[in-house]
């Protein structure tokens, strides 16, 4: 076995699905199913795998001219926390909506901002062991106010708090354990790494 992976990139692959059943499906966005798959060359060893179908999501690192990040604080029932987050949302805008368009929509709806400059930072599979959810991360610069229009803030979104945090202060909060939302941690540290490498 080689000590080096060679071409360092994820590769698409799909094992054969010999059976599938829906465990839960509702009017929202998620479907929970059980697939029976077989490892290549081993049809005698079927494997049951649970899969949470998810449309994917975007997160926006919106940074102003003073190197401050636009943050939100939102209640998340499953974690029992009001988390510091970024403007973000599901890719549920309908067929054909690209992730960048979703990012622009979420920045407007949640933060009442628009950006003149957009850059795709990276894409992640946050929990590939049981969901096909993908996260697209974007950097937004050249910010200005943009009214959210007729978008209706309801549920947890109706309680959103908005504020600015300097990048360095946010980094300190992450390493001190005061901020732990995954997309915030990933986006802010990636931004810092790119700046240190001279790639921003």
Residues 6+ apart with CB under 8 A from 35: 17, 19, 20, 48, 49, 50, 51
From CA 67, how far away is CA 164, in angstroms rounded?
Answer: 9
Among the options 16, 44, 157, 159, which is catalytic? 157
* 157 is a catalytic site residue: yes
Burial class of residue 189 (count of CB atoms within 10 Å of its CB; 0-12, 13-18, 19+): middle
Catalytic residues: 157
């Amino acid at each position: 076995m080689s000590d080096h992976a060679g071409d360092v990139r994820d590769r698409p692959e799909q094992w054969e699905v010999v059976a599938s059943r829906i465990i839960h499906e509702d009017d929202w966005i998620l479907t929970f199913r059980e697939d029976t798959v077989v490892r290549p060359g081993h049809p005698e060893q079927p494997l049951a795998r649970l899969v949470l179908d998810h449309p994917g999501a975007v997160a926006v690192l919106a940074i102003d001219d003073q190197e401050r990040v636009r943050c939100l604080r939102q209640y998340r029932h499953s974690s029992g926390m009001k988390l510091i987050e970024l403007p973000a949302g599901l890719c549920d805008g309908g067929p054909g909506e690209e992730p960048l368009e979703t990012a622009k929509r979420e920045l407007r709806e949640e933060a009442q901002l628009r950006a003149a400059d957009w850059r795709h930072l990276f894409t992640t599979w946050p929990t590939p062991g049981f969901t096909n959810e993908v996260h697209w991360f974007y950097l937004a610069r050249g910010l200005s106010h943009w009214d959210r229009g007729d978008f209706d803030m309801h549920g947890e979104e109706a309680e959103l708090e908005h504020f600015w945090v300097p990048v360095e202060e946010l980094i300190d909060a992450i390493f001190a354990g005061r901020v732990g939302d995954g997309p915030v941690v990933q986006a802010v540290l990636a931004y810092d790494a790119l700046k240190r490498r001279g790639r921003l």
